[in-house]
Amino acid sequence: MSSLENRITTVVVGGGHAGLAASHFLSERGIDHVVLERGEVANSWRRERWDSLRLLTPNWQSRLPGHAYDGPDPDGYMTMGEVVGFIDGFAARTRAPVRTGTTVTSLRRTDDGYHVTTDQGELACRAVVLASGACNLPAVPATLSEAVPAGVEQVTPFTYRGPDQLPDGGVLVVGASATGVQLAAELRRSGRPVTLSTGEHVRLPRTYRGRDVLWWMDASGVWDTRYDEVPDLTRARRLASPQLAGTPGRTTLDLNALTADGVELVGRATAVRDGQLLFSGGLRNVVSLADLKMERLLGTFDAWAQETGVDSDVKPPERFEPTRVPGSPRLRLDLRGGEVRTVVWATGFRPDYSWLDVPVVDGKGRLVHDGGVVDSPGLYALGLPVLRRRKSTFIHGAEDDARDVVDHLAGYLATRR
Amino acid sequence: MTTIDSIDNGVNVQALLDARETLKGAPEAARFTWRSTTRWENGVHTTSTVKDYFGLGAEHSHKTESSFTADHPEVFAAEDHGITPIEYLLVGLGSCLTAGVASVAQNRGIQLRSVEATLEGAHDIRGILGADSDVRNGYDGIKVTFSIDADASREDIEALVAQSQKRSAVFDALTNPTDVTVEVA
Ligand SMILES: Cc1cc2nc3c(=O)[nH]c(=O)nc-3n(C[C@H](O)[C@H](O)[C@H](O)COP(=O)(O)OP(=O)(O)OC[C@H]3O[C@@H](n4cnc5c(N)ncnc54)[C@H](O)[C@@H]3O)c2cc1C
């Protein structure tokens, strides 16, 4: 690899779909730039996902600027290989100037822009787009994880590939967002006893009134809600992913489905004492919060369908059975007893900004920004939860956000010549 | 949203929302210490008093000192001067959840006419008697039943009750483990 040119207008950190979308709009405006990627294009889909994963968003929804799914199964869900192919295709189509195998190790502010240090050389630029991803590391509750006895295996979504890799015997999955419910279902299917520790979560049916529930999110405009219109933005940005899976049968993967498969539900994991993992007694509350929120969301879909006349094109409104909770959910589990051989931490992900030497990260490790405009001139972000819209972290959410952010960036470059 | 202004459950929600904003940037001021003192009377009869607390960076006192008598009932061969300590947990939980319902209702513009919570704690006393080591000392379950008369749909009332649990100090203290230190002065 040739060494980096030492001056360029804009640097994009990260060659995932968000960085590539930024690159597309930068090229459109003729702004010279480079996309720095530590691995390959779509690296996180290649290296940081488990084997059976499919997108939970349907194929027709996988769209990037000027690039959409055009295969035979618009209602299906992409495998990891297909996602990589899709994003690679976009990079090729847009001729994105990507430098693969280039890790940014430091980003510093200078008098007239930024100084970028990489493992392949140094670079000076006027503007930077942080598109390094929102899910660089699994977020594992350290106090719990450290107290798990040595004989119990612990895995995260980054180290988990499939059931074969785990010892036989019981599994405790901690966390009931998309990742947790998907891994609980897969491990249960492998014949293992599975316990699922459930805190606050988002329940959704896979299909509603005959359409993919994400069609409703899209068509009714819920997903387009702007960040400055969301009532409680901090909360919206922390919201876990919905209990959805992309399966060929388009089946719902809520807690009732898991219970029917023999998964045992327990409350949120709160502490380890004397080798016993303790669960919250508030399971019924989190479950009814999720049921009520789902009902409310479906209610807004129905109202929208009525207003717009979509009503006649879809099946009649449906209501779903309340979530069943065991009569007396277990409050403790002895981790030394041999019942559980593996703990799966499906407790979320977080970004890694350890290389960012600009003081724009708050005490909780979150980037401080206003709709992707970071509080440091010429610094921008993409791909973070509800960055500019509810759909910001999703593949189909990148286009609108990247266009807006690059607009702002172009304005910044134009005024500071 | 005219309804929000016209309804009144007697909760100053604006003050609470303002406090939330202020304390976001002042975590030290948000640290409170609640206190109570228990004096032994005789037998299993005790008197507890509550007056002072610390918060917002300073010492405070309630307007009046409150006093609580606890004892055991006659079926436990005691004199029954007052309710049992474990019943005080029901008192704490019921008042906390009910206060939460009123606050959330105010915030959501729901006028309450009446709210009543009935609490039942199931307790196997073989635990405290040491009659069976597999039985725990505390409640094996608590059931709270709300009867609420308000200008709202059943769904909205259920949402009030769910949200009040989500923000309840006592619900959290009872459903999640708390580190407790007991020392001799
Ligand atoms: C388990 C899981 C399932 C998901 N399922 C869906 C789904 O079904 N549908 C959907 O629309 N979205 C889904 N998402 C959300 C989102 O689409 C993905 O997280 C996606 O990878 C985000 O794209 P991105 O470009 O923002 O970040 P990434 O894809 O993570 O890209 C960031 C890139 O930056 C690189 N990078 C990071 N740090 C540096 C550095 N210091 N120097 C150089 N390069 C660096 C990384 O190698 C990576 O390639 C899912 C996310 C996860 C975690």
Q: In sequence order, which residues have a C-beta less than 8 Å from that of residue A256 and are 6 or more positions away?
A: A321, A323, A324
> CB neighbours of A359 closer than 8 A, spacing ≥ 6?
none
> Consecutive 10-residue runs of chain A (417 residues): their mean pLDDT?
73 98 98 98 97 98 97 97 98 98 98 96 97 97 95 97 97 98 98 98 98 97 95 92 96 98 97 93 96 96 96 95 94 94 97 97 94 97 97 97 98 87
Q: Sorting pLDDT into bands at 50, 70 and 90, what band is B2? A: very low
Which residue stretches of A169-231 are H helix? 178-189, 213-219
CA B123 – ligand 1 centroid, Å: 50
To the nearest whole angstrom, how far is the Cα of B48 from the nearest Cα of chain A?
Answer: 28
**Which of A203, A280, A296 to probe the B interface (max B CBs under 10 A)?**
A280
Task: Give the pLDDT confidence score for residue A326 in this predicted structure.
Answer: 92
Polymer length in residues for chain B = 185
CA distances from A312 to A217, A302, A305, A306, A308 (A): 18, 11, 8, 9, 10
Q: What pLDDT sits at residue A393?
A: 96
Judging by beta carbons within 10 Å of its beta carbon (0-12, 13-18, 19+), is residue A394 exposed, middle or buried? buried
Measure the CA–CA gap between A172 and A158, rounded to whole angstroms. 17
Dihedral class, residue A181 (left if φ above 0, else alpha if ψ from -120 to 50, else beta): alpha
* Of residues A69 and B5, more confidently modeled: A69
A234 touches chain B (CB under 8 A): no
Helix/strand/coil for A114: strand
CB pairs under 8 A between A and B: 37
Grouping H, G, I as helix, E, B as strand and the rest as coil, residue A320 is coil
Buried b (16+ CB within 10 A) or exposed e, A16-45: bbbbbbbbbbbbeeebebbbbbbebbbbbb
How far is residue A159's CA from residue A343's CA, in Å, rounded to a whole number? Answer: 12
Q: How confident is the model at residue B121 (pLDDT cuts 50, 70, 90)?
A: very high
Ligand 1 centroid to Cα of residue A177, in Å, is 17
3-state SS, B102-147, equals HHHHHHCCCCEEEEEEEEEEECCCHHHHCCCCCCCCCCCEEEEEEE
Structure tokens at A388: 């500019």
Residue B17: the pLDDT is 86
Burial A312-351, CB ≥16 within 10 A → b, else e: eebeeeeebeebebeeebbbebebeeeebbbbbbbbbbeb
Distance from CA of B50 to the nearest CA of A (A): 28
* Ligand 1 site residues, Cβ closer than 6 angstroms: A 13-19, 36-39, 43-44, 49, 55-57, 103-104, 131-133, 135-136, 157, 179, 349, 355, 383, 393-395
For residue A4, the model assigns a pLDDT of: 60
Instruction: Give the residue, by CA position, lying nearest to ligand 1 atom 3.
Output: A55
How large is the ipTM?
A: 0.85
User: For position B27, what pLDDT does the model report?
Assistant: 87
pLDDT at A247: 95
pLDDT (0 to 100) of residue B1: 39
**Confidence at residue A3, expressed as pLDDT on a 0 to 100 scale:** 54
State residue A117's pLDDT score. Answer: 97
Task: State the pLDDT at residue A355.
Answer: 97
pLDDT value of position A266: 98
Residue A125's nearest CA partner among A220, A255, A222, A32 is A32
Among chain A residues, the shortest Cα distance to B157 is held by A292
CB contact under 8 A, B171 and A271: no
CA distances B100 to A93, B50, B104, B106, B171, Å, are: 56, 22, 6, 10, 11
Find tokens 């200008």 and name the residue: B151
When CB atoms are compared, the residue of A268, A273, A292 closest to B162 is A292
Q: Which residues of B touch A280 (CB under 8 A)?
A: 175-176
HSE-up (13 A, CA, CB side) for residue A215: 16
- Judged by average pLDDT, the poorest of A24-28, B102-106, B132-136 is B132-136
User: For residue B173, with 0-12 CB atoms within 10 Å meaning exposed, 13-18 middle and 19 or more buried, which class applies?
Assistant: middle
Phi and psi of A118, rounded to 5°? -130, 170
> Collapsing DSSP states into helix, strand and coil, what is residue A194?
strand
